Structure 1
């Protein structure tokens, strides 16, 4: 089929874009253009514009942009040629004659769709009949309603080698084999050919549809004991398992409205979640999430939520997906990971605790970078310097797999900050048996830890007020003492917005100095600060005797001070982020008080308290 640029331009010219979009989206006139709430992301204030003269739409919120053809493929989910045919029919245009070979392939595909549709109709009829009694009882036991059963087209394959084959005898046997409905045994030399037989026998049948809603394959769940528990259609001209997501036809429109898509492990998880009211759920088809499936998810939302079981198999699946996503990452696009309670799948959780409990799991999803950190940190012991170096090497190797340079840089910085915070303070000497503990101490990893020294007055002030400025002064003093640390933590430092103007100027001066000079020493920094009338402030910070990371008696003290400085920077960066999220959660609870919101608020408050306690510890002077 030859579609020339001239023909496509004529098709666009004959299509009134506002009328096309207005068929499914509420639009309003705005001067010479039209406006609407963007159908590609969830918004309350219109930022989506339609310009009929120029023939394109554009969203200033999410960046969606295109013409009439792009609308049909992106918003309606149609393949390119189907979009062309529908637009041409509406515009009264004839589509150019197809290439004979392409026409033959299309005709064959259409006839294969006829086979899968006929199979689907037959499976549904069997579920409603006498032989479907056991399957209906199974669905009832799982709490699925008749409405849900019919919405997902569930059916039943009787335990027979030839009932489907006999029912579809109007189709050539070769087509039934090609669609995966029959199995044709391989011929063996010297032996008579064996007859083909039904692939699915004694199973609950779940149709797999493409994005247009056409049945392309099936998944069959065994009702009693036996293996495999689930049996999928083989790959066929209609069905590419690595590129297909179960329930995509229903989930894609729902995801565009909610701005979220949830990936779970299996068919029945999707169906149970949908019955509970969450329509934007999909599942891979018995394999780990593939690169093509990740790209398909990103075409709908920027950060899909992967929700897997809390057992080892579920966590391995999550980690495989994370590793596959790393090379594909692009600005604004990532994955989030939610973990179900151990021993529960989504159906179990919803039936036991309600859909709010499942929503709470989704709201607790962690970003991809956090999953990478947690999994690598827990992978091997970290008791020796060599083992910790191994962790650092593994993190660096994973960062190197990220193709996008900007994202690779930010991942590397973030993981290094987590590493520094984790190993900021050396382990205390061991050798104290539990019976030898003194009051106030604690046991950690089988070792007695002495109680922290009593807080100084300044440290107590940090506990009581949050102490952002006091800790920032200590951090700035540490950076004066160890100027090479400015570049190490530059990204984190640049994100700080001190409430004190003088401290903000001081921090800016340190960052600018590191930008212009590859190596800078304390005396050189003092000279630069003097040029900005900050010399006296710098000398005052270096003289501070309570809140600082500057006292160094020997090389061991120096290393300890640098580790504490790294952790202090991580803490001071985290505090405003926690405050912001806590404020947002509190505002949301004022409008809708629910259990998930309350739990998140309490979690954030505890995290803030823990940070404040750690700040108080860091505020102690180094032993002299």
Structure 2
């Protein structure tokens, strides 16, 4: 039975991998001094601010602030969880991931088993579409939509037999329930969720089946049925068709967002292989952030009805927090009563792609919608426009686009002074502020940061014979924890230290400190660290002295406390 991944293996893995080689296999790097640089893969920029340092085995972007070790990079870049990133890193260096035996057993229906049953059920549905006599209606439906066998195979389309127990006869009932493929009633009976439907496997970016969508073949309701939320399937984080899209082009110029599975498949059939669909939910910020990892332009193309128009508006508003400079959102409006599937079939690929290229910019769509019904020739109408736009513009990230949107609002409202946006802090100001902070940095923060970045300083620390009970102020607990980890792992480095704090309260602070640059030369680091520890010890003594003096004044001291006080006073002479 699978168990925990040993900590020793994680440490060894971080020693084996060279983060420069790893990142360079995803993002081409160029050497610059002691670092390797590139345009950041996590935000759009013109000037490279993403740096990878071989001697520290860390990456850091000075533009958006992301950073970490090799495991963090795979998690962020490929949207993996911790275990998946470890598996990917192990593949990169050519080793297998061991599991500890014993200890707390893994639940029987764990994630890997859920993935396994989903994959097996997908294969079963594909087989049923090809071989089951009752699947003729499903085949006829797909042919009526003009789908070829090649496209059906690409998207792994299948058929769920119109039976209550088609899956239950072949798979473990509890595993089916855990995977969202079966429903358990209060009476204890269990039955298949998908029955008599064409099924669309929903795959993640690694090609693993997460769940299914199903469409009826008659007029029964609901017309479309999706898998419920499970341990592996989260509708708000996934889009349909992204795996197939990236398999064709890992860096598409743009991605179209449509409403339904059939829209995605029909567009692919006609040569538009860069469309995805949300999974029965409104387009969210999480969806947009996911898509912007792979492209700089997203085009919303929803159905040409009232619901589709409202979906476009909600999607635009959801996009505002994601619109950093270099990203674009456009809206391609369908004629009334027409969806993307129908449009591309009736009018052809060329006219559809012309519509994509001439899609309306988000700024035009936004102000057009917001101005609807307002008399901008009157003060009341212009004031109403400003009040409506204010809250939305404040959600835009600081940058050129935000400033241009504000200028557009000024022009429409005929108000020259609108200063409700926060003023962005310049990089020069941040650096000046950092320098000011460094000059008055607390000794505890200095000690923690230097020890994090230079674990070998533990030798200097041990020379001090620190008495922890004497040090009772904020930050000491973290310093003590770092010291204990280094003492247990004398050869540890910063990337491995970082793993000891992953998912813990201190992680955010550790990530800030690990990239702090004090501009201290190698020879001076030990001296600075030693001085910081000395100041901590002195602060602890002064604090203890104050406590003893106060206690003597209020209630008197015990004999051993009197001796301690006299000793401390004598040492000050």
1:211 aligns with 2:214: no
Q: Find the counterpart in structure 2 of residue 221 from structure 1.
A: 215
Q: Which residue in the other structure is 1:111 paired with?
A: 113
- Give yes or no for the alignment of 1:417 onto 2:417: no
RMSD: 4.3
> How many Å apart are 1:324 and its aligned residue?
2.4
Q: Following TM superposition, by how much is the alpha carbon of 1:374 offset from its aligned partner in structure 2, in angstroms? A: 1.2
Contact persistence 2:155–2:244 (CA under 8 A):
no
Alpha-carbon distance in 1 for matches of 2:191, 2:115: 20
Preserved contact between residue 329 and residue 404 of structure 1 (Cα < 8 Å): no
TM-score normalised by L of structure 2: 0.61
1:460-481 per-position Cα deviation (integer Å, ceiling 9, x unaligned): xxxxxxxxxxxxxxxxxxxxxx
CA distance in 1, matches of 2:207, 2:41: 20
Aligned partner of 1:135 among 134, 138, 150:
138
> Which residue does 1:440 correspond to in 2?
none
Structure 2: distance between partners of 1:29 and 1:394: 48
* Shift in alpha-carbon separation, 1:281–1:65, aligned structure 2, 3 A: farther
Q: Higher RCO, 1 or 2 (CA under 8 Å, sep at least 6)?
A: 2
Secondary structure at the aligned position of 1:411 is classed as helix
The answer to whether structure 1 residue 257 and structure 2 residue 251 are counterparts is yes
Secondary structure of the structure 1 residue equivalent to 2:332: strand
Aligned to 2:185: 185
Q: Which residue of 2 aligns with 1:574?
A: none
Q: Which runs of 5+ in 2 are unaligned?
A: 422-573
| Pairing of 1:102-501 with structure 2 (within 5 A) | 104=106, 108-129=110-131, 130-168=133-171, 171=172, 173-187=173-187, 195-252=189-246, 254=248, 256-333=250-327, 335-379=329-373, 386-402=380-396, 404=398, 410-420=404-414
CA distance in 1, matches of 2:391, 2:39: 43
Deviation, 1:32, is: 11
Deviation at 1:10, TM superposition (A): 5.0
Which deviations, in whole Å up to 9, do the C-alpha atoms of 1:326-381 show, x marking residues without a partner? Answer: 34544444532222233322222222232222222221223333222111122567
User: Number of paired residues?
Assistant: 413
Residues 1:258 and 1:92: Cα distance change in structure 2 (over 3 Å): closer
Shift of 1:73: 3.9
Query: CA–CA distance in 2 between the matches of 1:64 and 1:400?
Result: 23
Structure 1 residues 308-317 or 336-345, which shifts more? 336-345
CA displacement at 1:292 relative to structure 2? 2.1
Counterparts in 2 of 1:182 and 1:145: CA distance versus 1, 3 Å: same
Partner SS for 2:342: helix
Contact 1:39/1:256 (8 A) holds in 2: no
Structure 2 vs 1, CA of residues 68 and 372 (structure 1 numbering), >3 Å: closer, same or farther? same
CA distance in 2, matches of 1:157, 1:320: 33
CA–CA distance in structure 1, aligned partners of residues 318 and 30 of structure 2: 43
Q: Deviations over 1:90-129 (max 9, x none)?
A: 354866749955x625961111222222221211111112
Name the SS of the counterpart of 1:257 in structure 2. coil
Structure 1 residues 87, 219: closer, same or farther in 2, change over 3 A?
A: same
CA deviations over 1:185-210 (Å, ceiling 9, x no partner): 224xxxxx5x3222212110111112
Report the Cα distance in structure 1 between the residues aligned to 2:372 and 2:11, rounded to whole angstroms: 57
Contact 1:15/1:91 (8 A) holds in 2: no
Q: Is the alpha carbon distance of 1:248 and 1:64 closer, same or farther for their aligned partners in structure 2, counting shifts above 3 Å?
A: farther
Confirm or deny: 8 A CA contact 1:40 1:256 kept in the other structure. no
* Residue matched to 2:83: 81
SS at match of 1:336: strand
Partner of 1:14: 16
CA distance in 1, matches of 2:391, 2:222: 37
- Structure 1: state its 5+ residue gaps: 188-192, 421-484, 492-624
* 1:295 alignment partner, SS class: helix
354-363 or 225-234, larger mean C-alpha shift:
354-363
Q: Map Cα deviations across residues 151-174 of structure 1 (whole Å, 9 max, x no partner).
A: 111111122222222232xx1x22
Q: How far has the Cα of 1:140 moved from its partner?
A: 1.1
State the secondary structure of the residue aligned to 1:318.
helix
The alignment partner of 1:305 has SS state of strand
Label 1:401 to 1:79 Cα distance change in 2 as closer, same or farther (>3 A).
closer
